[in-house]
A and B are shown apart, each in its own frame.
Chain A
Amino acid sequence: MVTVSTRVDGDPSTRHGAEKRRKSPLGSRWTPYLFAAPAVIYLVVFQAFPLIQELRFSFTRTSLYTPNDNVWVGLANYLSVIGSSTFHQTVQVTIVYVVVCVVGAVGVGLGTALLLNGEFRGRGVARALMAIPWAAPAVAVALIATWMLNAQYGVVNRLLAAVGLAVPGGLILESPGRALPAILVTTIWELFPFCSVVMLAALQGVPQEVREAATMDGAGPWWSFRVVTWPVIRPTVDLLVLLMTIWSIRRFELIWLMTQGGPVGTTNTLVIDLYSTGFQLFDLGKAAAIGMVGLVVSLVVVIAGRFVSRRAEQEVSR
């Protein structure tokens, strides 16, 4: 299911193809462009054009009330963003959020995939149920999480109290120390099933005979995992880390609806900061600058990540 090798496309100028192409007027060298054009034009209009617009905003003073009335201010927005201490906190929160989400989601995903791998009764049902959190809409997840974490009536507080771990005042989402962990747990809960399902598919590629041979040779479960399983699923793990990184940097609804970045900015990720700067402080120029800085950071992270994973692959194949 998860193919990592890049398939080499057939050469279009084979004798065979060239003959046919001459016959039909539509089957010319323009054919692929005609097929690709609608989607490409669509994305240029609704993604590239707004992105350029946003880039332009970042060099202007623009209010949400008058988005077409911009005053060019050069790098002022960037300087004020980078110089502010709240932005440093935002970057820190974002890094913690992304790293913990990625490690947590991929880790729990791998753990549950190993649990669900192999033969047992009810496996199909178990796999299906495990995917539920991933399918639930973020808005609904935020609603139920907020209710479960409610200070007075939330089931989490009641259970914590029952085992003697009661939180003072029951404050979780309202507490600077506990809001981010609570949001992290919720996010990982939402993300891990996807990792689990993808990892399960990858585990089907692990040669069972080799595992059994390793066990017979006296390899413990950990050793046989490291030597036999890990090399097979490694590319999938890399891919999941990449996807989870992108998704975590982008994540908005869950955090916004649960805490709006508070209390005192402890859950204020770049995307939340970008939105609240634009829609609560009405400062579109600064919001755009935050967004651009975030975009550059995530591009660097993703490119570096791919580079590292390619290098690792080469090392392995050598």
Chain B
Amino acid sequence: MRKNPIGTTARVVGVLVALGLAVFPLYWMFVTSLTSDHNLFGNHVQLLPDLSRIGVYAHALVSQDVVRWLRNSLIIAAGTCLLSIGLAVPVGYALSRFSFRGKGSVALGLFLTQMLPEALLVVPLFAFFRTLGLIDSLPGLILADTAFVLPIVAFILKGAIDGIPRELEEAARVDGCRPLDVLTRINLPLIAPSVAAGAVIAFFSGWNEYVFAVTFVSDPSKQPASVGVASFIGELSTPTQTLMAVALMYTLPAVVFYLIAQRHVVAGMTAGGVKG
């Protein structure tokens, strides 16, 4: 393979084309945010960003809506992250280390919930949340988002605990360590990277979530960035450059964190699919 220069060139070209296609839309978001109206709507296509226009980002941030959107998204994401991890760690541990009646059903149930579309449950959840007074509230969105990401996080953590030698915790148990302590003192530190990966997935499922946010929240002060950015689509009064700047500020955190956690995220998600 290495001796074949044509093959190598073909590979380089292939990789570059694939990378170009993968990156282009976000690049275009960036370029559009830094393009003058004249070039945006004229006949000339501007392919490079005009960095002197970078002030559009500061301008977008000054607008009260954007800061509030991002803050609400942050609260929803952080809440979803904490609640999911808190629920997923013990169930992942139970599935990994114990054999008990109904274990198969729990695993199957976790797998099957991944098949339920948000759009299917949005109405009954809406009715349910209205009786609980959780409409127009960020905690309500956290509760709904957690239900949909919890199974994935649980499988990630189960897979991680599967990978730790049993002998470690058996030694601890002989020393009189209780199960909860075994989990928190022996296992958790060892699966820290997977916990971090699960936390990233849960965080960004809250950050990205749209269906519940647009259905449950009508109070503008409670709207997260997903609803805000979606409201830009087909809207004409906000300058296109501002739309793209806001969308990019909403997108970049997700991209950066996913890239960092990528390896563990993939391992966990596929483990969930295979073993479910």
Decide yes or no whether B218 CB sits under 8 A from chain A. no
Contact (Cβ within 8 A) A243 B273: yes
Taking CB atoms, residues of chain B closer than 8 Å to A103 are none
Contact (Cβ within 8 A) B258 A131: yes
Decide yes or no whether A96 CB sits under 8 A from chain B. no
Question: Cα distance A243–B87 when bound, in Å?
Answer: 24
Taking CB atoms, residues of chain A closer than 8 Å to B56 are none
Question: Cα distance A128–B258 when bound, in Å?
Answer: 10
Question: Cα distance A31–B180 when bound, in Å?
Answer: 9
Contact (Cβ within 8 A) B127 A39: no
Decide yes or no whether B62 CB sits under 8 A from chain A. no
Q: A46-B143, A140-B251 are in contact. Are A147 and B15 (CB under 8 A)?
A: no
**Looking at chain A, what size class is its interface with the partner chain?**
35 or more
Q: Could you tell me which residues of chain B, from 215 to 244, have a CB within 8 Å of some CB in chain A?
A: 215, 226, 229-230, 232-234, 240, 243-244
Instruction: Number of B interface residues at 8 Å Cβ cutoff, please give it.
Output: 101
Interface locus among A48-56, A74-82, A226-234: A48-56
Decide yes or no whether B106 CB sits under 8 A from chain A. yes
Taking CB atoms, residues of chain A closer than 8 Å to B273 are 239, 242-243
Contact (Cβ within 8 A) A288 B208: no
Q: Could you tell me which residues of chain A, from 235 to 267, have a CB within 8 Å of some CB in chain B?
A: 236, 239, 242-243, 246, 249-250, 252-253, 257-258
Contact (Cβ within 8 A) B244 A112: no
Among B12, B21, B122, B215, contact of A189 (Cβ-Cβ < 8 Å): B21
Question: Cα distance A288–B125 when bound, in Å?
Answer: 13
Contact (Cβ within 8 A) B115 A3: no
Report the minimum CB–CB distance from B99 to chain A (whole Å): 5
Question: Cα distance A26–B179 when bound, in Å?
Answer: 7
Taking CB atoms, residues of chain B closer than 8 Å to A83 are none
Decide yes or no whether A9 CB sits under 8 A from chain B. yes
Decide yes or no whether A310 CB sits under 8 A from chain B. no
Report the minimum CB–CB distance from A201 to chain B (whole Å): 7
Report the minimum CB–CB distance from B189 to chain A (whole Å): 18
Report the minimum CB–CB distance from B233 to chain A (whole Å): 5
Q: Could you tell me which residues of chain A, from 1 to 26, have a CB within 8 Å of some CB in chain B?
A: 1-4, 6-7, 9-12, 16, 20, 23-24, 26
Taking CB atoms, residues of chain A closer than 8 Å to B263 are 1
Among B144, B229, B274, contact of A3 (Cβ-Cβ < 8 Å): B274
Q: A144-B247, A148-B25 are in contact. Are A43 and B150 (CB under 8 A)?
A: yes
Taking CB atoms, residues of chain B closer than 8 Å to A9 are 99
Q: A27-B173, A141-B25 are in contact. Are A36 and B91 (CB under 8 A)?
A: yes
Decide yes or no whether B170 CB sits under 8 A from chain A. yes
Report the minimum CB–CB distance from A4 to chain B (whole Å): 6
Residue among A9, A68, A138, A201 with max Cβ neighbours from chain B (10 Å): A9
Question: Cα distance A118–B254 when bound, in Å?
Answer: 28
Nearest to A274 among chain B residues (CB) is B119
Question: Cα distance A142–B259 when bound, in Å?
Answer: 21
Residue among B118, B121, B248 with max Cβ neighbours from chain A (10 Å): B121
Contact (Cβ within 8 A) B119 A49: no
Contact (Cβ within 8 A) B115 A252: no
Report the minimum CB–CB distance from B276 to chain A (whole Å): 10
Taking CB atoms, residues of chain B closer than 8 Å to A147 are 28, 32, 240, 243-244
Decide yes or no whether B133 CB sits under 8 A from chain A. no
Decide yes or no whether A171 CB sits under 8 A from chain B. no
Q: A31-B98, A39-B87, A115-B11 are in contact. Are A299 and B115 (CB under 8 A)?
A: yes
Taking CB atoms, residues of chain B closer than 8 Å to A67 are 123, 126-127
Decide yes or no whether A295 CB sits under 8 A from chain B. yes
Taking CB atoms, residues of chain A closer than 8 Å to B19 are 126, 129-130
Name 10 A/B residue pairs within 8 A (Cβ), A-sorted.
Answer: A12-B99, A27-B178, A51-B116, A135-B255, A138-B208, A143-B243, A148-B25, A189-B25, A252-B118, A294-B120
Further pairs besides A11-B99, A140-B248, A291-B120: 13, Cβ < 8 Å: A32-B94, A35-B93, A35-B98, A42-B147, A47-B121, A54-B123, A120-B15, A129-B23, A135-B255, A136-B254, A137-B226, A139-B250, A201-B266
A residues touching B (Cβ–Cβ < 8 Å)? Answer: 1-4, 6-7, 9-12, 16, 20, 23-24, 26-27, 29, 31-36, 38-40, 42-43, 46-47, 49-51, 53-54, 57, 64, 67-68, 111-112, 115-116, 118, 120, 126, 128-148, 152-153, 155, 158, 189, 193-194, 197-198, 201, 215, 236, 239, 242-243, 246, 249-250, 252-253, 257-258, 271-272, 274-275, 278-279, 284, 287-288, 291, 294-295, 298-299, 302
